[in-house]
Structure formats: structure tokens, C-alpha cells
């Protein structure tokens, strides 16, 4: 059975939209300027800024207005409590498995937070497994996390595909292992000159449908 490795944040789910909604609610609750939404999202950088650095920046900015516990609660649960798996994404994953693919989530992040997202959306009942960087001690694009994903479901990396939104973490990671890949653009343009994905798709459902229709 061929292996399909799927990124979680901003691939299977729109993590940035969920976090943006949580931040907007946080600002309203504490009577903070709505315009600070742009500042928080910039500091967060799509989840790639280390949590402790985001917490430090927000604590410094809001120390007189918001308890540190409220900031930590936002960062720990804000996106996880609001993420949504679209019907199209769910149907595409299901179709991939019907077509004989083994689907495993490969995500960077903290175990508690990422597993909360996976379980909230029922992805734990939809995919064959998942690996999270904190749990395995390696993060994308390091090859070890992709090997851990294959080991988790007992499938070889031979003929595997990687689908993700990050040129560095997902696509470069796939290329380093000689794997085929689909970059989820979400309306962005590819800007890397030294490497390219096998294919570019507008969203994860389109990406999955491309993979399962490609010649094996």
C-alpha cells in the first residue's frame, strides 16, 4: 500500500484562520485594539515562531492589561479549539484510503496541541496514524520524522508522497528523501528557485485527488 504523508496546519486544516479567530476574540475580551490582530499574526508567523517567543512578546505588550495565564491559554488552545476539517478534505482523505493509500499525518508542533486538533476533527478515526515533532524528537524537514511516519504505519517510503504548505519543511524534506510532493499554495506563488514540488495545488483536497489519480 503506498504511503501518503499529510501536513496538518494550513494543509489539512486552516490553522491560521482558526488562530486569527481566537486572537480576535482574545482582543475583544480584554478590550484591546482590534488592529493588534495584525501584530499578533505577524509575531506568530503561521505557527513557526516558537511558542515561548510569542508568549514573551505578548506578555511584554500586554503585561498591564492581560494576565500571563490568559496569554498562555490562547497559545495553547486558541487554534485547537477552533480548527475545522472541511467536507472536501474529509472526502479526499477517505477516497485516498478507498483507493489503497495509507494516510499518515506528519506535523511539527507540540504533542498535546496537535493531538487535540487531530481528535477534535475526527482525524484520529480517518487516518492510519500520525507523528508529531515533539514526540519523536525530530521535526520537518529532517528525514528522521518522515521515516518515523512510515514506521508508525508499517509502510515503506518507496513511492510515498508528501503533501504540505511549507516549501522548507514539507517540500524540501520530501525532495531530500527522493519523494514526490504536492505544495498546497492557498493562493500563493512558488518563489523558491533551487527546488520545486512535483505539483502545486490550491488546497489539500485538490492535492490528494491529484496524487491518487497519478500513475503508479
76-114: per-residue pLDDT in tens? 999 999 999 999 999 999 999 999 999 999 999 999 999
Arithmetic mean of pLDDT over the chain: 96
| Domains contained in the chain, CATH given | 3-14+84-213 (3.40.50.1000), 15-77 (no CATH)
The dihedrals phi and psi of 61, each to the nearest 5 degrees, come to -75, -35
Q: State residue 94's pLDDT score.
A: 96
The dihedrals phi and psi of 4, each to the nearest 5 degrees, come to -120, 115
**What percent of the chain has pLDDT above 90?**
94
Model confidence, pTM: 0.93
Q: State residue 59's pLDDT score.
A: 96
108-160 pLDDT, tens digit per residue, is 999 999 999 999 999 999 999 999 999 999 999 999 999 999 999 999 999 99
Q: Is a pLDDT exceeding 90 seen at residue 1?
A: no
Q: Which three cell numbers stand for residue 128?
A: 492510519
Measured between alpha carbons, how far is 183 from 181 in angstroms, rounded to an integer? 7
30-39 pLDDT, tens digit per residue, is 999 999 999 9
Amino acid at each position: 500500500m503506498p504511503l501518503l504523508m499529510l501536513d496538518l496546519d494550513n494543509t489539512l486544516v486552516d490553522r491560521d484562520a482558526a488562530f486569527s479567530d481566537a486572537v480576535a476574540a482574545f482582543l475583544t475580551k480584554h478590550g484591546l485594539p482590534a488592529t493588534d490582530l495584525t501584530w499578533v499574526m505577524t509575531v506568530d508567523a503561521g505557527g513557526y515562531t516558537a511558542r515561548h517567543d510569542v508568549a514573551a512578546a505578548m506578555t511584554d505588550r500586554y503585561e498591564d492589561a492581560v494576565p500571563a495565564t490568559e496569554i498562555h491559554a490562547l497559545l495553547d488552545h486558541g487554534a485547537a479549539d477552533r480548527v475545522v476539517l472541511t467536507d472536501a478534505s474529509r472526502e479526499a482523505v477517505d477516497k485516498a484510503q478507498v483507493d489503497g493509500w495509507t494516510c499518515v499525518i506528519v506535523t511539527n508542533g507540540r504533542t498535546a496541541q496537535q493531538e487535540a486538533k487531530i481528535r477534535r476533527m475526527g482525524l484520529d478515526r480517518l487516518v492510519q496514524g500520525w507523528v508529531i515533532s515533539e514526540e519523536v524528537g525530530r521535526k520537518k524537514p529532517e528525514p528522521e520524522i518522515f521515516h518515523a511516519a512510515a514506521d508508525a504505519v508499517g509502510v515503506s517510503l518507496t513511492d510515498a508522497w508528501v503533501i504540505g504548505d511549507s516549501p522548507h519543511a514539507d517540500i524540501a524534506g520530501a525532495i531530500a528523501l527522493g519523494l514526490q510532493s504536492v505544495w498546497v499554495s492557498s493562493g500563493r506563488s512558488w518563489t523558491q528557485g533551487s527546488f520545486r514540488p512535483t505539483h502545486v495545488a490550491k488546497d489539500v483536497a485538490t492535492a490528494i485527488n491529484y496524487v491518487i489519480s497519478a500513475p503508479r
